[in-house]
Structure 1
């Protein structure tokens, strides 16, 4: 939908004497757009194309052009087109006239920018001029001197110019040809970088407002349709060869009689972001640098029951939006399985009437670019729940892949690029063979929490946060209900241990030889060289990591257990297990199998132990028998009351375990806070062998300020 900026019927004028302007407080990330005559001022979000009015007037009652932001004194400089004079504007948007000598008398300039405290002006018939703004730093009434710059620009028809903060050179687009020019401001030499017609189409209007960001990206806002294009001008070699990336970036306001200014040293998205991004790996174009999908929030358009929160960029492994913020990825649910050759039903909840488009990577090549991968195109949803059909190609590759759903007020969205309204949700999915089914633990989208106290066989400080893992399990069953695949996905949620600990899963009931070589282990979306299967064990044991401490970000001793340590999620894993066809998987123990921690081999001796037990020291869930690698010597030492003869393991005499499994996203105790102090009802639960206080772990039952409260 084409958008135009409308004029207000009533303008407010300011007295320059009564309202002396002041500089901006910071280097703003928004772009400034001056439009119409007399000029009014808008703020443009270049990432999405959204805009809002900042000032109905600058108080000068004139048409302003050739604007540029000066990061040195944080004023906007421009040219008063009606009164033929240079002006400057501060954060109150009240313009003031400046005294300048040396400019051609009576001549008007339509394009300009500021760099290193120098204001540059361009006019097709006159060429380039520069004005040193330094005198204004000490005396705002100084008379500025303009100097001509000899150049070979000729009759370049540019509606605006912008200076790259990386190379300090001026760039402009010739409107009739779409040639992109680079100008060396020290010599005046101008060269064509590239012709942009191949990338953005034949010339169809000028670019009245162009801007740079701190990374050397040039943003071109086309007058006729408001389309914003991004040109990567960060690499000198690519510029010299003319091999620069040019792409449609967002849809902004169409306008006329306009000009743009921006602080080129600011990022496009700052810490006050109001944008929702995607979560898929960046091969699907997710991050801002890749022109990933993004939507302005707080517009009333979103998926699910929870409106999206804001992000500074896309979240890719080991993060996703639900781990880093509110669990707002709740708008899309797969009602039926995705079986190759069949039709699947997807439930999509919309906040209001709007358009939905979606993509699935059927061939698992890491993109949404193939011919049949756009599965929904501009489907008009109604407010509430919408049931949609998806035809799964018969040749869809079996296994895990990604989907992307975008909802907005307007149609025509691609799987990348900015939008002024709506939300994007990226979901991992599984394509199955016809007749297959899935079974989950704890659910298809939720995580269970397993937490360990690693002082076994001592009870220790019993804060139950030495290792905290969140995970889910998905089993694939064939038409005969035989398990053909096991997918374990999880991440390290907290690590309060001083010791080095490894983490593993045992698939009890199966042996190492039952596992097919197609099995993979993935860390942070990267497939590891070895699939984690423990080679010197007879049982099917998968070592996720033999030292979780090495997976922590630097600079925080109590990772997500002390309130001052709100580090981002840093380690995510996935075990994708396949079995040989002859294997009878009915012997496999029930989900969640046997998650356990063990002492990292060769790290150091633990307190009270006179040797390094390494792999021989395991900590399992209560009453779970350890693996064949366990050193049984330690049964019954210190606080342990294990009795293999009665199937009693890893509990104290009061039935307090060294490991907990909670089928929800549990809030664990803070560092050095005893579990019983954090959750008073836990003692009764443990001492009754789980018969009483079964909901002891709920957040509303926690003692105030005793559990860790993530803020990331």
Structure 2
């Protein structure tokens, strides 16, 4: 997969010199065959791609995901160029053609050349090659397709190999081709036309499959283990991806080449890769985004990503490595370091108004950003790229954002990418930098915004569902994190957005989760605007409970749906780790004439209830369903609670006449609200065992040991550590 073809006069000159050079080279092989080579194979099937470039040749490692290159060998033991390379999975060597000495060579893990004995090599140079099932295939336009079986080398490293002609018909202008690891077929793209071809390695000939939409000298081609085909264009370094993973794409000519990453330009090059390796290894050095996948977030969707370890990043903390994008309810801060700290919305985002955005840069570089103004789940629409290669200085940068007039109010997504490169899009890989995806709230003119606990943080609400008994009192039967954003106009709450996720479920019973907006009636809610999303997907019901007069929103009637066969519980046993699975959003709007003056303060009143139709406790003589609720201490239950049959049993000491609810005689509650991302005890570890100061805090009515919940005051090995 070279970046050039020799002109005719050069080829004639080579032909005249061929006999002499062939004799010298063959003599060298015969002498060399008596030496003991220190050529050893690769230890594994590596994830990186290899690029052979220049004369004398140098070897580079290429990260296809970001386009990053690292020099692996400045010399290979020969003063020449190597082309037509392919990785042989059978013996884990790289094979290729020495275009200077007209020889077939192989290289091991140290990238040193070993010359091979081959009979019948034609008197022209090869620039195109790859390996499949222990056979090296070589191609030259207008000369033919050839093959060399490598099996004899298994028994004798100095064995004489024989080149065979498959066909002398070769019309496609190739500079590389590659074998599909799943179907075993050979593919290449015509440099001049952009046509994708499938080559017959049995009798020769090629089948036209369609046009990939780009042209250029594609000096290197690679496959990954899923069947995606990557081609690197020499003049600009762009690495394109063609979806040949799905057979229907091949059969129906849906073969557009998409920009996948932005690599360096190159020449006199060729590429090889172990096609059955994934393109990201376990020790990932890549930063991904974490918006919903409709915005192109996952690698499969060609989501944005940057190579880490450079001096280019957003915020005060450099990004950590991830194997893929994190879809809601996950985000980078939840699965790694708290490094999503580079972007802040200083002023409200209002239609037709200018807003100030604060961006912290580690050093000078270029920022591009997108906002989904129409909330349609992508960044593709006109005007949604809000900053384009904006030059940032090291430190804090205040940017002026011009907000369009005709945009939808409510919560939406934004994407910020910082790098030393220009011209990057909201998708695709970049060699350096960081990507941060953030939600933001678009408000109407004259609205004020307030957050709880803050714009980007979460409270933790944790429940023990064995009420009216304390049982194991591990306070992890249901753990939810959420935040609230209220919009106010003329001092009245006009809308509220509640965003959260299920952090843990350590219950044997089935529990629903709900939030009551005490002080509002159901009739105060504007049902035409209010909506609910689960994992970013709009639900048919907005969650407003129709059986209650109060404004109560049922997030889910059964939060145990997250449980799987892999773990007995969800994220409460240290030995059984699982990723987050369930997130929710409530967008609540009140009627224009609604009186919200009596609405309780954020974070409102979260509670759990028994899932209707399911067993919930030996100490209760009937299966209560919605009639059983568990609230934080001294929060009265809702109108659906069965006061008559449920109060006064077990160890609960509730007394409605005194305003006392859901506490034991020792003031131990069955639910907690903590204004940060609190870590809960492991399964069947008593809360007091994990947090020894909690007993004194509860017994004193909250007057003593008020910092009991801090991790520094906990017994570390008793907490669940994600």
TM category (shorter chain) comes to over 0.9
CA shift digits 1:433-487 (9 cap, x unpaired):
1101111111110000001111111111111111111110111112x02111111
2:426 equivalent in structure 1: 415
Give the secondary-structure state (helix, strand or coil) at the position aligned to 2:697: helix
* Cα displacement (A) at 1:151: 6.3
CA contact (8 A) 2:510 2:616 kept: no
The structure-2 alpha-carbon separation of the partners of 1:506 and 1:188, relative to structure 1 and needing over 3 Å to count, comes to same
Give me the whole-angstrom Cα distance separating, in 1, the residues matched to 2:675 and 2:36.
65
Give the secondary-structure state (helix, strand or coil) at the position aligned to 1:459: coil
The structure-2 alpha-carbon separation of the partners of 1:238 and 1:605, relative to structure 1 and needing over 3 Å to count, comes to closer
Is the aligned partner of 1:247 residue 2:265? no
CA shift digits 1:350-374 (9 cap, x unpaired):
1111111111111122222222111
* Cα displacement (A) at 1:641: 0.7
* Cα displacement (A) at 1:319: 1.6
Is the aligned partner of 1:62 residue 2:89? no
- State the number of aligned residues: 688
CA contact (8 A) 2:143 2:168 kept: no
Give the secondary-structure state (helix, strand or coil) at the position aligned to 1:379: strand
1:72 equivalent in structure 2: 90
The structure-2 alpha-carbon separation of the partners of 1:693 and 1:605, relative to structure 1 and needing over 3 Å to count, comes to closer
Give me the whole-angstrom Cα distance separating, in 2, the residues matched to 1:584 and 1:526.
31
* Cα displacement (A) at 1:32: 0.2
Is the aligned partner of 1:384 residue 2:412? no
CA contact (8 A) 1:210 1:220 kept: yes
Give me the whole-angstrom Cα distance separating, in 2, the residues matched to 1:286 and 1:703.
37
Where do 1:217-232 residues align within 5 Å? 217-232=228-243
1:92 equivalent in structure 2: 110
Greater alpha carbon shift after TM alignment, 284-293 vs 486-495: 284-293
1:346 equivalent in structure 2: 357
CA contact (8 A) 2:610 2:616 kept: no
The structure-2 alpha-carbon separation of the partners of 1:662 and 1:605, relative to structure 1 and needing over 3 Å to count, comes to closer
Is the aligned partner of 1:258 residue 2:276? no
1:110 equivalent in structure 2: 127
The structure-2 alpha-carbon separation of the partners of 1:224 and 1:672, relative to structure 1 and needing over 3 Å to count, comes to same
**Of the candidates 501, 505, 508, which is equivalent to residue 495 of structure 1?**
505
* Cα displacement (A) at 1:100: 2.6
Is the aligned partner of 1:448 residue 2:464? no
Where do 1:430-509 residues align within 5 Å? 430-478=441-489, 480-509=490-519
1:681 equivalent in structure 2: 693
CA shift digits 1:647-705 (9 cap, x unpaired):
00110111010111100011111111111111111111101000111111111111131
CA contact (8 A) 1:485 1:579 kept: yes
CA contact (8 A) 2:509 2:616 kept: no
TM normalised by structure 1 equals 0.94
1:8 equivalent in structure 2: none
Greater alpha carbon shift after TM alignment, 75-84 vs 304-313: 75-84
* Cα displacement (A) at 1:317: 2.0
2:52 equivalent in structure 1: 34
**Of the candidates 131, 136, 154, which is equivalent to residue 137 of structure 1?**
154
Give me the whole-angstrom Cα distance separating, in 2, the residues matched to 1:682 and 1:424.
40
Is the aligned partner of 1:188 residue 2:204? yes
Give the secondary-structure state (helix, strand or coil) at the position aligned to 2:600: coil
Is the aligned partner of 1:702 residue 2:714? yes
Is the aligned partner of 1:83 residue 2:95? no
CA contact (8 A) 2:243 2:249 kept: no
Give me the whole-angstrom Cα distance separating, in 2, the residues matched to 1:232 and 1:152.
28
CA contact (8 A) 1:553 1:570 kept: no
**Of the candidates 561, 566, 577, which is equivalent to residue 555 of structure 1?**
566
**Aligned CA-pair RMSD:** 1.7
Is the aligned partner of 1:123 residue 2:134? no
Where do 1:268-279 residues align within 5 Å? 268-279=279-290
Give me the whole-angstrom Cα distance separating, in 1, the residues matched to 2:166 and 2:510.
65
Structure 1: runs of 5 or more not aligned: 1-14
CA contact (8 A) 1:19 1:94 kept: no
2:585 equivalent in structure 1: 574
Is the aligned partner of 1:514 residue 2:530? no
* Cα displacement (A) at 1:549: 1.0
1:5 equivalent in structure 2: none
2:6 equivalent in structure 1: none
**Of the candidates 685, 693, 703, which is equivalent to residue 691 of structure 1?**
703
1:44 equivalent in structure 2: 62
Is the aligned partner of 1:308 residue 2:319? yes
* Cα displacement (A) at 1:605: 4.1
Is the aligned partner of 1:157 residue 2:167? no
Give the secondary-structure state (helix, strand or coil) at the position aligned to 2:218: coil
**Of the candidates 275, 288, 296, which is equivalent to residue 285 of structure 1?**
296
Greater alpha carbon shift after TM alignment, 286-295 vs 454-463: 286-295
Give me the whole-angstrom Cα distance separating, in 1, the residues matched to 2:398 and 2:317.
19
CA shift digits 1:370-389 (9 cap, x unpaired):
22111112111111111111
Give the secondary-structure state (helix, strand or coil) at the position aligned to 1:586: coil
1:660 equivalent in structure 2: 672
Give me the whole-angstrom Cα distance separating, in 1, the residues matched to 2:107 and 2:207.
32
* Cα displacement (A) at 1:590: 1.0
TM normalised by structure 2 equals 0.92
Give me the whole-angstrom Cα distance separating, in 1, the residues matched to 2:516 and 2:268.
69
The structure-2 alpha-carbon separation of the partners of 1:241 and 1:636, relative to structure 1 and needing over 3 Å to count, comes to closer
Give me the whole-angstrom Cα distance separating, in 1, the residues matched to 2:684 and 2:156.
60
Give the secondary-structure state (helix, strand or coil) at the position aligned to 2:523: helix
CA contact (8 A) 2:310 2:433 kept: yes
Give me the whole-angstrom Cα distance separating, in 1, the residues matched to 2:389 and 2:655.
63
CA shift digits 1:560-609 (9 cap, x unpaired):
11111220001111111111222111121111111011111122242333
CA shift digits 1:259-296 (9 cap, x unpaired):
10011112222222111111112222222222221110
* Cα displacement (A) at 1:333: 0.4
Greater alpha carbon shift after TM alignment, 19-28 vs 268-277: 19-28
Give the secondary-structure state (helix, strand or coil) at the position aligned to 1:540: strand
Is the aligned partner of 1:627 residue 2:644? no
Give me the whole-angstrom Cα distance separating, in 2, the residues matched to 1:673 and 1:61.
68
1:297 equivalent in structure 2: 308
Give me the whole-angstrom Cα distance separating, in 1, the residues matched to 2:463 and 2:673.
9
* Cα displacement (A) at 1:130: 1.6
Greater alpha carbon shift after TM alignment, 337-346 vs 582-591: 582-591
CA contact (8 A) 1:233 1:239 kept: yes
Give me the whole-angstrom Cα distance separating, in 2, the residues matched to 1:235 and 1:629.
52
2:656 equivalent in structure 1: 644
The structure-2 alpha-carbon separation of the partners of 1:347 and 1:610, relative to structure 1 and needing over 3 Å to count, comes to same
CA contact (8 A) 2:211 2:256 kept: no
Give me the whole-angstrom Cα distance separating, in 2, the residues matched to 1:670 and 1:238.
47
Give me the whole-angstrom Cα distance separating, in 1, the residues matched to 2:396 and 2:637.
47
Is the aligned partner of 1:53 residue 2:71? yes
CA contact (8 A) 2:140 2:170 kept: no
